[in-house]
Amino acid sequence: AQSVTQLDSHVSVSEGTPVLLRCNYSSSYSPSLFWYVQHPNKGLQLLLKYTSAATLVKGINGFEAEFKKSETSFHLTKPSAHMSDAAEYFCVVSDLAGGYQKVTFGIGTKLQVIP
């Protein structure tokens, strides 16, 4: 079985402070994990992905995520929030089912950045 849980539906931070968006997953296999960002009225854009290489993954716009197998987590972080980071973020788990890729999206976390 495959599932993903984004622990916060909304996160609010001040500009210049760190960002932490939490994601826990469940998978029967060794999964790949993704984070996507969606700005208002836009499509989803890939931020970063983990594919069983380095556990610390660096993405675009200063974001990074760490894969922790023991905690089944893939939290997204950024040292200093910028106003342009205000968006919705989706954590995605991917593995194989019947020889084909199966993905499950989390419900999303809306990030608000306060000036």
Could you list the residues that contact another protein (CB under 8 A)? Answer: 29-32, 34, 36, 41-46, 49, 51, 90, 94-96, 99-103, 105, 107-108
Considering the complex, state which of residue 45 and residue 80 has its C-beta at the smaller distance from another protein.
Answer: 45
The nearest distance, CB 78 to another protein, in angstroms, is: 21
Query: Which two tokens mark 91?
Result: 């954590």
- Nearest in space to 13 (alpha carbons), one of 66, 60, 83: 83
Q: Measured from the CB atom, is 15 or 69 closer to another protein?
A: 69
Q: For the CB of residue 80, give the shortest distance to another protein in the complex, in Å.
A: 27
Q: Which is nearer to another protein, 73 or 81 (CB)?
A: 73
- The minimum distance between CB 48 and another protein, in angstroms, equals 10
Question: Alpha-carbon distance 56 to 92, whole Å?
Answer: 16
Name the token pair of 25: 């997953």
- What residues contact residue 98 under an 8 Å CB cut-off, 6+ apart? none
Q: How far is the CB of 111 from another protein (least distance, A)?
A: 16
CB crowding 8-36: b at 16 or more within 10 Å, else e: eeebebeeeeebebbbbbebeeebbbbbb
Comparing CB distances to another protein, the nearer of 86 and 96 is 96
